[in-house]
Structure 1
Amino acid sequence: MQRRLFNTAATLALACTATLGATAARAQADYPNQPVTIIVPFAPGGTTDVVGRALATSLTKQLKQSVIVENKPGAGGTLGVVDMQRAKPDGYRLTMVPVGVFRQPYVQKTQYDPIRDLTYIASFTAYDFILAVAADSPFKTVKDVVEYAKTHKEGVDYGTPGKFTGNQVAMALLGKAAGVPFTHVPYKGDSEAITALLGGHVKTMVSTNGILNFMETGKVRALAIAADKRPPAFANVPTFKEAGYDVVVPSPLGLAGPRGLPLPIVQKLDAAVKAALDDPEMQRVIKTYGIRTDYRDHQAYSEFARRNFEAEKTIVQSLNLND
């Protein structure tokens, strides 16, 4: 009797397992069958937000399902990653990943591990960091900024879209190279920092590509860009290295989901991201903001994440980002 009961229970368990497996397989095959949310970890109006919304529009076409954006600014662009710890690994809640997520665990206690807690899907663009001033500023070159900081007690302050961002790293690297301190003033996004610059609340700022429109309308002047060479959209802006300072800060932007995201869903999203880069609207936004395409598939992006997480440790150890 006991043997028959055991055999019956085992048979039922195997049947349940098979049913659950078949259900999961169908869910992955049918993905997506409801709206997908992408978290943009910065405030509306900045470069990351603009790119995120263009990507969501293009993915809507690729996936034949609505893709919506949810802004979660703060914590240096890492709140999307924190959110992934609570998200189900079903592909319906994703986040954009700025490189700051690999840096923050080295500068303060975080709720996440960027390797353990994320499934990397693809990177798609890269933006740059530009030191800019208002059009009426007396600063014409990076050297002007450095010399002022050396000779004036109040020094030079600069706005960024948040603490521990690549924007802050660029200025911290300049301070180290020039041997002068700068005062960091973090905001919730590029748009807030630009507003502060134009309002005279900060002397300088380090922006991403969203500054391009303000340059073209003559409201701001770009002094230097933290790239290894001048991007086409910023052909008239010298690199920091051309100005005599070794400041290069690469910044690819990617898409990730929670840990355990099934491979079929990852592959479907990866293919959709790659296709989205050829979408005319996505191309228009890339051109308008001077952003560079920087695609890596899910395998290459996962490997980049591992390498960059290790590299950030060295960068943080050489800089004091808590100032």
Structure 2
Amino acid sequence: MPIAGRLAGRRHLLAGTGALLAAPALAPAARAQGRFPDRPIRLIVPWPPGGSADAQLRSLAELASKTLGQPVLVENRAGASGTLGAQFLTTQARPDGYTLSQMHMSVVRRPFLVRTPPWDPVQDFTHIIGLCGWMFGVVVKADGPIRSWQDYVAHARANPGRLTYATSGIATTNHLAMEELSAREKIELVHVPYRASNEAAVAVASGEVMSVADSSAWAPLVEGGQLRLLCVWTAERSPRFPAAPTLKELGYDMVITSPYGLSGPKGMDPAVVQRLHDAFHAALMDPANAAVRTQFDMPLEYYSNRDYRDFIARRAEYEQAMAKKLNLRID
């Protein structure tokens, strides 16, 4: 064989050998992706322990841990109307799938209430799964003079600026709903924000405030006879509290469940997102999690990751329009 031919053949052989030697270098990265997760996952619950969302998400985390093969550790970060989880995702968390937080309507709404928006609710997060909503209601002390929603409105009208109501924070869904109800009835109520719905319910039972408008952490105290439920905000009456009318039955075309889900930092790997979605979806549909939702009367509001992102985008448009309409500002 001519010398040139032998050299060409040698170069071809060396090139092929180089390719074979280079191939194993790609394998660890591919295997690393396939191992997700290989360490515990942090799930931020932006409320104190003991409330309905905390209970549902703790159940979800425990069940998802079995599928993922790693612990999902709940971390409570209460304050700022439930937005500290979102703040952490946008300022400190890496988009590697190991830090997640509850996504709820106060997070979506907040950029439209402040002069300097802290985040874009659609673009600055990776939305993973929609989970469920809340059953909201208005509750008063059982041994007080207010025995119905009509009594509540009449008392507020007769005592302007003296009827107090608690919620889990300023500019939360339930706070804004009460503001709308007050405007429709032309009554003046006094808002008293608490850190969590269970704390607000206890405050009513102890006489610190006259009523609470929040999710059903008040339910045990209603069943125990300390509190009285005046109305619920779901589409239908609650099987657990069939005597309480809905807002629609009371003449308001309002159904308020405030669906929530799970999100991570923006820029997450789609394969990791799908792995998390599938694990949390299995947990959501597990009878054990369904039992927790039943305990707190939480309606199922499931969305896949793509559908949940679309839902957040629609809600962001709605919240922006409502903030302009009601001239809402918190700074």
Which residue, out of 137, 157, 160, partners 1:130? 137
Structure 1 vs Structure 2: percent identity of aligned residues? 37
Deviation at 1:183, TM superposition (A): 1.0
Trace 1:109-120 onto structure 2 (pairs within 5 A). 109-120=116-127
Which residue, out of 27, 48, 60, partners 2:65? 60
Q: Which residue of 2 aligns with 1:96?
A: 102
Deviation at 1:316, TM superposition (A): 2.3
Deviation at 1:255, TM superposition (A): 0.4
Q: Which residue of 2 aligns with 1:14?
A: none
Deviation at 1:244, TM superposition (A): 2.1
Distance 1:320 1:137, change over 3 A: farther
Q: Is the 8 A contact 2:122 2:313 kept in 1?
A: yes
Query: After alignment, is 210-219 or 51-60 more displaced?
Result: 210-219
Query: After alignment, is 60-69 or 23-32 more displaced?
Result: 23-32
Which residue, out of 176, 179, 184, partners 1:172? 179
Q: Is the 8 A contact 1:62 1:272 kept in 2?
A: yes
In the alignment, the residues of structure 1 paired with residue 159 and residue 216 of structure 2 have an alpha-carbon distance, to the nearest angstrom, of 30
In the alignment, the residues of structure 1 paired with residue 178 and residue 26 of structure 2 have an alpha-carbon distance, to the nearest angstrom, of 51
Distance 1:320 1:227, change over 3 A: farther
Query: After alignment, is 311-320 or 52-61 more displaced?
Result: 311-320
In the alignment, the residues of structure 1 paired with residue 25 and residue 47 of structure 2 have an alpha-carbon distance, to the nearest angstrom, of 38
Q: Is the 8 A contact 1:78 1:101 kept in 2?
A: yes
Trace 1:136-151 onto structure 2 (pairs within 5 A). 136-151=143-158
Trace 1:290-309 onto structure 2 (pairs within 5 A). 290-309=297-316
Which residue, out of 208, 222, 234, partners 2:229? 222
Distance 1:233 1:20, change over 3 A: farther
Deviation at 1:146, TM superposition (A): 1.3
Q: Is the 8 A contact 1:101 1:114 kept in 2?
A: yes
Q: Which residue of 2 aligns with 1:13?
A: none
- Computing the radius of gyration from Cα coordinates, the structure with the larger value is 2
Q: Is the 8 A contact 1:98 1:254 kept in 2?
A: yes
Deviation at 1:19, TM superposition (A): 9.3
The answer as to 2:52 corresponding to 1:71 is no
Distance 1:35 1:172, change over 3 A: same
Deviation at 1:228, TM superposition (A): 2.6
SS of the counterpart of 1:188? coil
Query: After alignment, is 293-302 or 246-255 more displaced?
Result: 246-255
Deviation at 1:40, TM superposition (A): 0.4
In the alignment, the residues of structure 1 paired with residue 216 and residue 113 of structure 2 have an alpha-carbon distance, to the nearest angstrom, of 26
In the alignment, the residues of structure 1 paired with residue 171 and residue 24 of structure 2 have an alpha-carbon distance, to the nearest angstrom, of 47
Aligned residues: 308
Q: Is the 8 A contact 1:72 1:79 kept in 2?
A: yes
Trace 1:1-323 onto structure 2 (pairs within 5 A). 24-85=29-90, 86-108=92-114, 109-319=116-326
Letter in 2 for 1:82: Q
Letter in 2 for 1:100: S
Unaligned runs of 5+ in 2: 1-22
In the alignment, the residues of structure 1 paired with residue 84 and residue 281 of structure 2 have an alpha-carbon distance, to the nearest angstrom, of 25
In the alignment, the residues of structure 2 paired with residue 21 and residue 205 of structure 1 have an alpha-carbon distance, to the nearest angstrom, of 58
Deviation at 1:320, TM superposition (A): 5.7
In the alignment, the residues of structure 2 paired with residue 129 and residue 261 of structure 1 have an alpha-carbon distance, to the nearest angstrom, of 33
Deviation at 1:23, TM superposition (A): 5.2
Letter in 2 for 1:28: Q
Distance 1:261 1:232, change over 3 A: farther
SS of the counterpart of 2:166? strand
Unaligned runs of 5+ in 1: 1-17
Q: Is the 8 A contact 2:161 2:190 kept in 1?
A: no
Question: What TM-score results when the alignment is normalised by the length of structure 2?
Answer: 0.87
How big is the alpha-carbon RMSD for the aligned residues of Structure 1 and Structure 2? Answer: 2.2
Deviations 1:274-303 (A, max 9, x none): 110232321221121111221110011000
Deviation at 1:234, TM superposition (A): 3.8
